[in-house]
Amino acid sequence: MVARTRKQLRRHNIRAKKRLGQNFLLDKGILAQLAAAAELSLTDTVLEIGPGSGNLTVELARRAGAVIAVETDRDLEPVLAANLSEFDNIQVIWGDFLEQSLESLWQLAPTGLDGERKVVANLPYYITSPVLIKLLTAAGHRPRLAVILVQLEVAERLVAEPGTKAYGSLSVLTQYFTCPELVLKVPPAAFFPRPKVWSAAIRLRFRDQPAVRVQDEEFFFKVVRAAFGHRRKTLLNSLHYDLGERMAKEDIATALSRAGIDDKRRGETLNIEEFALLTAALTELLR
């Protein structure tokens, strides 16, 4: 497959574009494992972000009812057309995924497909965070499950537990909406061209309800970002730094105490339930 893809790209005079994060995944075993990790059935609709030359798209089309693949680089059209020609359940949408409406993309699925909506992608590294945020916050249009290949370091952040170096606001956002699992580590040699770092596939199972109940999600995430914003400050000082315009330091200290959280702790030691308690206590004092 490595030789075939390289030959195809050469034949169509295509060079992998670094600025678009084009590292094509060529290891057949890993492609199959990624598709299998999505637990597809023939009634599912899969949204693929960045099909590239179609290596993963083909694996998805064999296992799902429909594949909607969004690719930004039109130069790949001849290779993609050649590789996908035997499938009639794939639609390629040309454009930047970040500018697409998820609702409209899901609507492209044929009527009658009553399985689950899933996302599978070997993501270009430069848009990992915005893509994740878009999927996580797409109220009403979230997938049921997503399998996403990201840099190993990012994967470790998504599954990180409180008190670890990798734990940050993206961990909390991800764990609030999903149950994330690291399912597979992938070495640079599986790609062409080879990236400098290892990658990992993350499976996100979207929750029916967020992990904790909060009244105002926007404020909850503001508190989370404030807590992580200044890793060397204590929680009290971090929160005061970001929320100080709206609240006196003594009020923040009161909210921490009411939430049962020592104000000398660092933000990165709080678990998601503690963030919810803290947000509720702060909200109460803002009334």
Which residue type sits at 45?
T
Full strand arrangement of the beta sheet holding 117-122: 90-94, 66-71, 45-49, 117-122, 145-151, 199-206, 178-186
Q: Find the residue with minimal CB distance to ligand SAM.
A: 50
The span from the CA of 255 to the CA of 264, in Å, is 13
- Beta-carbon count within 10 A of 223 CB: 26
User: Measured from the CB of residue 20, what is the shortest distance to ligand SAM in angstroms?
Assistant: 4
Closest to ligand SAM by CB, 20 vs 253, is: 20
User: Measured from the CB of residue 122, what is the shortest distance to ligand SAM in angstroms?
Assistant: 3
User: Measured from the CB of residue 22, what is the shortest distance to ligand SAM in angstroms?
Assistant: 5
The two three-digit tokens of residue 202, written as one number: 């993350």
Closest CA to 205 of 163, 159, 161: 159
User: Measured from the CB of residue 21, what is the shortest distance to ligand SAM in angstroms?
Assistant: 5
Closest to ligand SAM by CB, 198 vs 219, is: 198
User: Measured from the CB of residue 192, what is the shortest distance to ligand SAM in angstroms?
Assistant: 8
Q: Under DSSP, is residue 53 helix (H, G, I), strand (E, B) or coil?
A: coil
Closest to ligand SAM by CB, 20 vs 36, is: 20
* Strands (DSSP E) found in the chain: 24-25, 45-49, 66-71, 90-94, 117-122, 145-151, 178-186, 191-192, 199-206
Residues near ligand SAM (CB under 6 A): 20-25, 49-52, 55-56, 70-73, 96-98, 122, 124, 127
Closest to ligand SAM by CB, 43 vs 137, is: 137
- Beta-carbon count within 10 A of 239 CB: 26
Closest to ligand SAM by CB, 203 vs 240, is: 203
